[in-house]
Each structure stands twice: as structure tokens, then as C-alpha cells.
Amino acid sequence: MPVVRRTGGLLALSTVLALVLTLTVTLVGMVPLGTAAYAASPAAAASSAAASSSTLATAPLARRGKGWKPRAGVLFNNPLGNRQARRRIVRQVIKAIDHTPPRGEIRIASWNVRNAGITRALASAHRRDVTVRLIMSRGNLGTKGDPNPGVRRLVHELSVNGNKLRRPARRSHVKSCRSSCRGTTGISHSKFFLFSRSGRARWVVMNGSFNATDLASSNQWNDMYVVRGKPRVYAAFRSTFAEMWRDKPVRNAYTRTRVGPVTAFFYPYAGRRAKRVDPALSELRAVRCRGARNTTSGRTKIRIAMTSWFGERGTQLAWRVRRMQNNGCDVKIVYAVMGNEVLRILRREGRRPVRLQQVVQDFDGDGVYDRYLHMKVLTIKGRYRDSRRASVVVNGSANWSPAVLNSDEAVLRIRRAPVLKAYNRRIEKLYRNPPDTGLIAPVLGRRLGMIDPYAEIEPH
């Protein structure tokens, strides 16, 4: 298995890129993070989102145009594409921030935040009287050897621009969690973006594998699913965010909320809803491999895109996937990192190997990936639970590795055929056209490195 090592929460950029960043990013002030209590409830969010005050706006009206709204459904980026393809997700996030009106709310939970466009947009939103709350992992706030000037500047901007004049429930802050925010171990690994209103849309939820970083666009293949106009879905995410903000263990941390074809799940996997069966394994056990009525062969199609798949938990999931193929399921997998035992089970424990494709780029062959698949997706087309025509997508921040069950993670299960079609098309494309590992080696001339978010809390 390739060696995956931590690089301080950030991929080490080439000398040239680092010089450019040094010249363009200025650190303005370093102050303590805000500690005010998180007081507003989801019900209060509903009323505050309806209000607006154009007199406090600082962004041009055209930039926040009333006719715009975030695109609902699936978004993917392509780190090997042109600027538009690379920035497809981050552009949606920044536009949604820019179109949040005065007295609106923005809530972001992202394991890492290192994107100047996002931090600038959040500072601007705060100045026009938007309440901005951001949660990230404490290890990514920045250290002397690995600074994070964008976040530190954002902290400063939020503290000096009228924050103290607001009532506590409407103050903007940045907060970090040492481990999981709602548990006792693990990490804060969720990746969701909430907007009470953005342009013409209300109750916007964006969830997927995308961290608020430059690397999420340029060095990773990511996904995001966007829900609009579903107040119950929004309230479930916002309520979970409020619990994360308190940074105290929650007895019944594992929760789920179903609204039509969308079900939201929140980890850590603990509490009265957490059963002995792993939630990902439970999804796989609900599958029957033959008798599907929405596939030409009658076999259920399973497609998996997974960044990190290893450890005892990964082995259990691998055995289930192997048995599913042995029983007739049509299985394809794209991945970045797999444990040796997971690979052995999928390749050798059966009459034919499971079809696998690693999606990484490693320019100097040192086992530290320069670009890599960052999605965490399972799709099911065929027999699932009581349906023979099911179309199921499970997306979010949860890898198939042990520490996930103790970490803050947000997962969506979406039962919509167009969504499954979009995800399967992307997975098939990555499977059939894996990236060329030598594509840009002559340009960069050295490795960029790879992050493993769990490197400091579990062995490989």
C-alpha cells in the first residue's frame, strides 16, 4: 500500500507556487478565536432569513443579484481540466456567499479552510451584516511552521468589523475542535455549507467531499450535492452545526432526518440510533444482486468511489463487496488508498477479481500522491430493500476507514435516478480514463504531497 504521510494539513506546494502565494497573501493580525455562545435555533434562522436590510450591504447589488440562485443537484470538479472545470465547486460556494443578503446566515463546517477567495467572500458577507459561522479542525488553523494566513485574517476581520455591536446570536466567529466536535475522539471532518438564503433560494445545503481549500480544486477529484428549498433538511444540518459549535460530547450523536428522497446522517456513530451494524455495511446488506428491473442484465449495479479504505472496518466492508460480486452484483470501484488486506480480498477472494481502478498521480514515485480521488460515494442501481428499481446514492465526508465512526461526518442518501446517473457517469469516466501519472511532472519537477486527515489518530 502506498505510504500516506501528513504534511501539516496542507500539501507542500512547489517552490514557484509557494513564492507566488507568499507575494499575494498578507497576514493581517492574529487574535484569539471567538468564543461567544451559539444561541440561535433553526426556527430563529427561518425568521431571520426572511428579513433583509439593503442599507448595510457592502457588496455591489449586481454581484448579489436577486435573479441568481445556487444550482441544485450534483457538482463535480476536474483537477486536470481548464480553470472552469477545476473551480466548478468552489465557484458555486463563493457565489452563494456573495449572494447571501444582509441579515442572512452562513454556516460552514470544513475540515480545512485554505482558499483566499472563500475567506475574502466570508469577510465581505460579514461586513454587509451577514452572520458567518465557520468550524474547522484545530490542526489546520495554522502553526509557525505551517501558517494559515487566510483564516487568521478572517478571524481578525470578523472581530473588528462591528461584531461586538451585534446581539450574541448574530455575531460572526471562527471556531475549531481539537477532536470531533460532537464526540470525544476522532476529528471534525464534515464538509457542508449552509445558507439561510442565497439569491432567490432559501434553505441551501451543500454537502460532499469538498473542503474549502485550493487543493480541493487543483489536486483532488471532488463532489458536492446541493439541496434548495427544503427547510427540514436545512434545519437538520443547522441543528447539528449548533451542537458542533458547543464542542461538547452529545449522547445521541448519530442522527438521521429523512425528507422525501433525501436522508441526512450525522456522525459520530454513537447513541440510541447507533446499532451494532456499521452504517455503510447496513447499506450494502440491503442490496440483492439479482432480479433488478432497472438494469438490462437484471443484475444490481454497485459503483464505489472511495478515498480511503483500510483497517478492520475496511476489511469488513471489502468482504461484503466481494460476496456481492460473487452473488452476481455488477461492481466497479475507483479509489485512492486501500489497505493490503482490502486489496487482497477484492482481487483474489473469488473466481474473478473485482474491477478496481486507482485514481492518483504520483510524479516521483515516492508513494505520496500529488493528485488523488477525494470522493466518498456509493451508488446502487437495482434491488435495494423493498425495491427492484432503486436508484440510490450515498455521498458525503465519510471514508471507509475506522476513525470515521468516531468523527464528525455528514452523509446524504439520495434516492433519485438522475442523481445516480450523474454519479455513475463520473465514476465510469474515472474508471475508463484514469489520470496519467506523468502528465505534469516536467512542469512542477517535484512532488506536492498528500494529506491523510486521519494520519495522527489511527495507524495505517
> Each residue of 264-294: pLDDT tens digit?
999 999 998 888 889 999 999 999 999 999 9
For residue 341, give the C-alpha cell.
488486506
Condensed to tens digits (0 to 9), the pLDDT of residues 174-193 reads: 999 989 999 999 999 999 99
What is the model's pLDDT at position 444?
38
What is the model's pLDDT at position 264?
98
Reduced to 3 states (helix: H, G, I; strand: E, B; else coil), residue 459 is coil
Residue 447 gets which letter from DSSP? Answer: -
What is the model's pLDDT at position 369?
85
Mean pLDDT of all residues belonging to the chain: 85
What is the model's pLDDT at position 62?
39
pLDDT-derived band at 437, boundaries 50, 70, 90: low
On whether the CB atoms of residues 148 and 172 are closer than 8 A, the answer is no
pLDDT-derived band at 373, boundaries 50, 70, 90: very high
What is the model's pLDDT at position 363?
79
Distance between CA atoms of residues 87 and 17, nearest Å: 18
Condensed to tens digits (0 to 9), the pLDDT of residues 407-434 reads: 999 999 999 999 999 999 999 999 999 9
Backbone angles phi, psi at 385, to 5 degrees: 55, -120
On whether the CB atoms of residues 288 and 374 are closer than 8 A, the answer is no
pLDDT-derived band at 36, boundaries 50, 70, 90: very low
Reduced to 3 states (helix: H, G, I; strand: E, B; else coil), residue 419 is helix
What is the model's pLDDT at position 299?
98
Condensed to tens digits (0 to 9), the pLDDT of residues 48-101 reads: 433 333 333 344 433 545 689 999 999 999 999 999 999 999 999 999 999 999
Condensed to tens digits (0 to 9), the pLDDT of residues 313-347 reads: 999 999 999 999 999 999 999 999 999 999 999 99
* CA distances (Å), origin 288, targets 102, 391, 405, 427: 50, 13, 25, 21
The domains of the chain, with CATH numbers, are 15-262 (3.30.870.10), 279-444 (3.30.870.10)
What is the percent of the chain with per-residue pLDDT over 90, rounded to a whole number? Answer: 73
- Checking if the pLDDT of 169 tops 70, the result is yes
Nearest of 447, 451, 381 to residue 416 by alpha carbon? 381
What average pLDDT does range 144-162 have in this prediction?
Answer: 90
- Checking if the pLDDT of 205 tops 60, the result is yes
What is the model's pLDDT at position 453?
56
Condensed to tens digits (0 to 9), the pLDDT of residues 98-114 reads: 999 999 999 999 999 99
pLDDT-derived band at 28, boundaries 50, 70, 90: very low
Distance between CA atoms of residues 79 and 31, nearest Å: 34
- Checking if the pLDDT of 457 tops 60, the result is no
* CA distances (Å), origin 341, targets 5, 215, 218, 309, 333: 20, 29, 31, 10, 16
- Checking if the pLDDT of 127 tops 90, the result is yes
What is the model's pLDDT at position 226?
98
pTM of the complete model: 0.83
Nearest of 454, 448, 387 to residue 415 by alpha carbon? 387
pLDDT-derived band at 143, boundaries 50, 70, 90: confident
